[in-house]
Amino acid sequence: MIKKGISVSHGLGLARAYLIEDSKVVVSSELTGDINEQLNKLENAILEAEAEIKKSKELAQNLMDDNDAYIFDAHLAILKDEYFLRDVKDLINLGHYASYAYKEVTKKYLDEIRKAESLYLQERSIDVNDVYMKVMYYLDALSRPHLSIDREVALVASDLTPSQTIGLDFNLVKAIVTEHGGKTSHAAIIARTLGIPSVAGIRISSINEGDLLLVDGRYGTVSIDPSEDELVEYAYFLDKIQTKEKRLEPFKKQKTHTLDGQYIKLGANISSHEEISHLKYAEGVGLFRTEFLFMRDSKTPSIEEQMHSYETVLASNKNQTHVIRTLDIGGDKNLTYLPIKKEENPFLGQRAIRLSLANKNIFTSQLKALLLANKYSNLAIMMPMISTLDEILEAKELIKSVEAELIKEGHKINSYQLGIMVEVPIAAFGLEDLIEEVDFVSIGSNDLIQYLFAADRMNEEVAYLYQPYHPQLLKIIKHVINVAHKHNKWVGVCGEMAGVKESALLLVGLGVDELSMGYTSILEIREMLSKVKMTDLTKLVARVLKLKKNDEVLEEVKKYLDKFSKNKGDKYEI
């Protein structure tokens, strides 16, 4: 049976389905000898979770209306529900581990709630799950409950949230299938960064645990129990990959130049410092999404933990500039320990720099760690989602005060660059008024497109409005490049457009200085650019800017690439 969805990350993956439900955590169903120990463990976990919820409530009361902090009272009520706890204790008294008992009882309650007709009750399942995650953390005592896999799998989830993916061994993930989320959801970005084939928009109720899935990220299809013919095609695909790897070998040791000598810097996008070992072929980090470091635990990472992470990145290549982006929380990324007021439109709400400026403690700790980690003067700090000059000025003032404090403590402040992401339309159109305050800009095309087209990047129903080739978008990008260059500032692009051959070609033609992308795309983009001439790309751009539609532009670029590969006898496609 073949299902059609949206392609979010190319390639073919074959593995058995592993369904992710919210409450899938690792617990042992074996019996333990010590009932009292488990009862004590449960009691302690409840106390710890209670303290955490109360702290969140206090924080919430400081940040929002008292009325809105009521949700934590609801969480406390769930946590201490005597019937619920009685059921858990009954299972422990039968000899089960506390974590197993808590999980089983939660599952039973969630099943009942989800069956209820009342929408209100159904929505409470989110709260039960929230409390559950907290208690399980304290029962486990070591880490937040995480997904654990020990064999190759095709992950199947309604929506893969960023926090679910933390700590997952992606070497074992051969494909990702989701019901929700578009091309630029964070799950999609992770999939592309790691080169995992991925398809969204699939009704996952038709997939059972253990089904063999052939996920075709090129065409956005998922084949359940694939046919012989499909398996033969898969083998052929693997063979082609090997050929491609051989072909790309010579590009590992080169910088990126067009045939007529134009240098383009190719950076890598990363979400954790651990990825740094994969970046051998990139020229530095063009985007470090630091929010994932803040999402790993139930509290803000200490300054030392942050410094370790930033230092690892900066020391990986002391001669390269590395762009570290300050927190981009909000939208689809949340911190459990920072209660964000429920928003009707989270992507239009208190996200990124807005949240950092509203929570100066966290922002200050990040700035401190960044400046302290900057031992080799190769740091570029980048602020996400800037809209106004005031936001830049307020952030700069904060940075100056952090610097002054560090100097007073006897630290030396090494030089660094400060830049902004251009991803809110007003910053793109009004860049002339912002540019003097910064050293560089990087275009966040994922958000820029989302906000220009007023189309939620997480909503597959409006995925057709993700139009990276739209001539009007290209004109806005051209405007950003022109303004930055007029002021002698460099411009990068770190959205997904930068790592896709057709759009990367246009961005280079438009004049960007840096493309930053998932590291699995670097060699292919380098190979492609090494075979084209800047003079031809400028002509191509002039041609497509006269068109009116996204698809017309894409067709024109594909024609150029096809003609070009025929002339040279090159084959790029896989």
The catalytic residues are: 186, 494
Residue 445 binds which entry of ligand PEP, Mg ion, none, with Cβ cut-offs from 5 to 8 Å by kind?
A: ligand PEP
Toward Mg ion, which CB reaches closer, 182 or 444? 444
Report the candidate in 143, 124, 111, 92 with the shortest Cα–Cα distance to residue 23. Answer: 111
Greatest distance between any 2 Cα atoms in the chain:
77
Q: Which residue has the tokens 């009361």?
A: 61
Residue 494 binds which entry of ligand PEP, Mg ion, none, with Cβ cut-offs from 5 to 8 Å by kind?
A: ligand PEP
Q: What are the tokens at 192?
A: 């592309």
Which residues are CB-contacts of 447 (< 8 A; sequence separation ≥ 6)? 385, 421, 423, 424, 457, 495
Residue 521 and residue 518: Cα distance in Å, rounded?
6
Beta bridge partners of 222: 3, 215
Strands of 153-157's sheet, edge to edge? 2-4, 221-224, 212-216, 12-20, 153-157, 173-178, 198-200, 6-9
Return the amino acid letter for 138. Y
In this structure, how many other beta carbons lie within 10 angstroms of the beta carbon of residue 560? Answer: 21
Determine if residue 195 is left, alpha or beta; phi over 0 gives left, psi from -120 to 50 gives alpha, anything else beta: left
User: What distance lies between CA 521 and its chain's CA centroid?
Assistant: 16
Toward ligand PEP, which CB reaches closer, 258 or 446? 446
Give the DSSP letter of residue 270: E
Q: Which of residues 433-462 bind ligand PEP (CB under 6 A)?
A: 444-447
Distances (CA, A) of 438 to 314, 419, 429, 446: 20, 5, 16, 22
Least separation in angstroms between CB 162 and ligand PEP = 10
Binding-site size for ligand PEP (CB under 6 A) equals 11
Confirm if 268 and 519 have CB atoms less than 8 A apart.
yes
Least separation in angstroms between CB 466 and ligand PEP = 11
522-530 vs 228-248: helix axis angle to the nearest 10?
A: 60
Q: Is 173 helix (H, G, I), strand (E, B) or coil?
A: strand
Toward Mg ion, which CB reaches closer, 226 or 444? 444
Least separation in angstroms between CB 88 and ligand PEP = 39
Least separation in angstroms between CB 500 and ligand PEP = 12
Residue 330 binds which entry of ligand PEP, Mg ion, none, with Cβ cut-offs from 5 to 8 Å by kind?
A: none
Q: What are the tokens at 70?
A: 């009521």
The single residue among 144, 289, 470, 526 that binds ligand PEP, judged by CB under 6 A, is 289
Toward ligand PEP, which CB reaches closer, 232 or 454? 454
Least separation in angstroms between CB 36 and ligand PEP = 48
In this structure, how many other beta carbons lie within 10 angstroms of the beta carbon of residue 572? Answer: 15
Residue 550 touching ligand PEP (CB under 6 A):
no
Toward ligand PEP, which CB reaches closer, 138 or 466? 466
Confirm if 102 and 42 have CB atoms less than 8 A apart.
yes
Least separation in angstroms between CB 497 and ligand PEP = 8
Residue 179 touching ligand PEP (CB under 6 A):
no
Q: String of b and e for 267-285 (b: at least 16 CB within 10 Å)?
A: bbbbbbbebbeebebbbbb
Residue 541 and residue 561: Cα distance in Å, rounded?
13
Residue 330 and residue 348: Cα distance in Å, rounded?
9
Q: What are the tokens at 122?
A: 């159904």
Toward ligand PEP, which CB reaches closer, 17 or 421? 421
Report the candidate in 443, 452, 525 with the shortest Cα–Cα distance to residue 489. Answer: 443
Residue 328 touching ligand PEP (CB under 6 A):
yes
| CA dihedral of 345, 443, 500, 196, whole degrees rounded to 10 | -50
Least separation in angstroms between CB 540 and ligand PEP = 23
Toward ligand PEP, which CB reaches closer, 101 or 187? 187
Toward ligand PEP, which CB reaches closer, 231 or 348? 348
Q: Which residues bind Mg ion (CB under 5 A)?
A: 423, 444, 447
Least separation in angstroms between CB 289 and ligand PEP = 5
Toward Mg ion, which CB reaches closer, 420 or 561? 420
Q: What are the tokens at 162?
A: 């960023």
Least separation in angstroms between CB 359 and Mg ion = 19
* Binding-site string for ligand PEP from residue 485 to residue 524, where x marks contact by CB under 6 A and - marks none: ---------xx-----------------------------
Residue 468 binds which entry of ligand PEP, Mg ion, none, with Cβ cut-offs from 5 to 8 Å by kind?
A: none
Least separation in angstroms between CB 128 and ligand PEP = 30
Toward ligand PEP, which CB reaches closer, 95 or 195? 195
Residue 338 binds which entry of Mg ion, ligand PEP, none, with Cβ cut-offs from 5 to 8 Å by kind?
A: none
Distances (CA, A) of 503 to 494, 500, 520: 12, 6, 16
**Helix (H), strand (E) at residue 13:** strand 12-20
Binding site for ligand PEP (CB under 6 A): 189, 287, 289, 328, 423, 444-447, 494-495
